[in-house]
Structure 1
Amino acid sequence: MPALIIIDMQEDFVLPHGSLCIQGAKDTVPRIREVLDGFRQRALPIFHVVRSYRADGVDVEWPREQAFRKGHHAVVPGTPGARIVSELAPRPNEYVVTKKRFSAFMHTELDLLLRRLHIRELAVCGTQLPVCVRCSVFDAIALDYRVTLIADGTSAQTEAIAEANRFDMANIGTRCLNAADYLSQLAGA
């Protein structure tokens, strides 16, 4: 049984007025929604992974401290930018996991929850591909999960960056499929 992992699809990253909008993130919402609907129809586990920092920034990772202090990164609980975009809003039976670092696995309950649910396969999508998605995929592989990257459900600042990261992920055993191909395989399983 697979689980869906949706990473950082919050207003600050996705919407054009977001404090750290990722080019192309908004364009991935329909593909992610297709996969999300497919998981919902099959009652499969869904995890929304979100980035969240304390208002004073004491828990921000060092490469982002300066930008955070200048107000360029406002994923703080209670702020509009911290919300998951409305098209992908979690339902009550879906899991929301908060992370403070790039990887969805580092110092979070994600691995524990997946193991308690006996999950060994993950479909991963979200933003940003070369940072949070990539770190999460690499950690998932290191933890022995079988990972499929929903290629058209991820975004990066440029297509060249996205292509290089998909190449690297494929070379460590990650399957890279578009949403339609993944859903077709899911339907046949």
Structure 2
Amino acid sequence: MTDYSYLYGQRRPLPDDGSYEPYFDMARTAFVSIDMHDGHLSESPECPCPAPRARAIVERVDDVHRRGRDLGARVIHVRTGLRPSGIDDINGIPSAWRLPFSEFVGGIPNIDQHGIEGSPWTRLVTEVLPQDEVVTTKKRVSAFYPTDLDFLLRQMDVRNVVLTGCMTDCCILSSAFDASNRNYRVIVVRDCVAGTNDELEDAALKIISLNLGLVMDAADLIESWAVRQSGDDSIEITSTALTTA
């Protein structure tokens, strides 16, 4: 079979010399879905850090997770969780993004409520099943800092991390760096992540494709897994099927 990924923005077949085969080992694979919660996705004018582009990928994220689960992938949902006192961020040493990002988007009136535990903004919007795992202690842009995600992945004997969620040019990119630096194999699902704008999404995915791992369309990823599981090279999965099934 032929596997496809993006290299500096161009979809191309992966070399068939077996060098990428470990990336598709389902027994050691987990999705890590990042910050798909109401703090980013709510349409309320009070949303503390709106990520409107990510609202458009909720159905695609749910669908690729469902199909991945059916093939044996585990799913971990990671979200921001800050102490109500604010000491983790706004009342301590604040996250660097709070000033320039808010300035760039024209101000965010409710920004001090982003990620506060016990607030409605921490509700996960994507589908969470009983067998999924949830990590709720993300306090900066990486899903690994200062959470127990690395411990959880090792307990699950996972070596392949498949990233979905938001934001491509911030939390996805930072998490991809941290995963790669911890020697995980990284796959980013290109049509199941969203960022600030086209320019920054494109730049982040190009960086990931050159330095950190594979960037793949959801349909290509599911097909690569399904063919290996069934041994049937005639399987073909389209993007339309992934978003409507």
In the superposition, the TM-score normalised over structure 1's length comes to 0.91
Report the counterpart of residue 76 of structure 2 in structure 1.
Answer: 47
Amino acid corresponding to residue 127 of structure 2 in structure 1 = A
Kindly indicate whether the alpha-carbon contact (under 8 Å) linking 1:34 and 1:179 is maintained by their aligned counterparts in 2: no
Q: Give the Cα separation in 2 of the matches to 1:65 and 1:155.
A: 19
Instruction: Extract unaligned runs of 5+ from structure 1.
Output: none
Instruction: Extract unaligned runs of 5+ from structure 2.
Output: 1-27, 103-108, 229-245
How far apart are 1:139 and its partner, in Å? 0.4
How far apart are 1:132 and its partner, in Å? 0.9
Q: Give the Cα separation in 2 of the matches to 1:161 and 1:124.
A: 17
| Cα 1:184/1:26, change in 2 over 3 Å | same
Aligned residue pairs total: 186
Q: Give the Cα separation in 2 of the matches to 1:183 and 1:58.
A: 42
Residues 111-133 of structure 1 deviation map (CA, whole Å, 9 limit, x = unaligned): 11111211111110110111111
Is residue 2:149 matched to residue 1:110? yes
Q: Give the Cα separation in 2 of the matches to 1:151 and 1:140.
A: 17
Amino acid corresponding to residue 168 of structure 1 in structure 2 = I
Report the counterpart of residue 71 of structure 1 in structure 2.
Answer: 110
How far apart are 1:77 and its partner, in Å? 2.1
Bigger radius of gyration among the two: 2
Amino acid corresponding to residue 187 of structure 1 in structure 2 = A
Amino acid corresponding to residue 126 of structure 1 in structure 2 = G
Amino acid corresponding to residue 161 of structure 2 in structure 1 = L
Residues 74-103 of structure 1 deviation map (CA, whole Å, 9 limit, x = unaligned): 322222211001xx2322221111211111
Same amino acid, percent of matched pairs = 27
Q: Give the Cα separation in 2 of the matches to 1:122 and 1:65.
A: 28
Residues 49-76 of structure 1 deviation map (CA, whole Å, 9 limit, x = unaligned): 0001112211014325677xx6314322
List, as ranges, runs of 4+ consecutive aligned residues in structure 1 with deviation greater than 6 Å: none
How far apart are 1:179 and its partner, in Å? 1.1
Kindly indicate whether the alpha-carbon contact (under 8 Å) linking 2:61 and 2:192 is maintained by their aligned counterparts in 1: yes
Q: Give the Cα separation in 1 of the matches to 2:215 and 2:119.
A: 34
Of residues 122, 145, 162, the one that matches 1:82 is 122
Of residues 137, 142, 148, the one that matches 2:181 is 142
Q: Give the Cα separation in 2 of the matches to 1:62 and 1:40.
A: 34
Residues 1-57 of structure 1 deviation map (CA, whole Å, 9 limit, x = unaligned): 210000000011122222211131011112111111012223432100000111221
What is the aligned-residue RMSD (CA, Å)?
Answer: 1.8
SS for the counterpart of 1:126 is strand
Pairing of 1:136-175 with structure 2 (within 5 A)? 136-175=175-214
Kindly indicate whether the alpha-carbon contact (under 8 Å) linking 1:52 and 1:77 is maintained by their aligned counterparts in 2: yes
In the superposition, the TM-score normalised over structure 2's length comes to 0.71
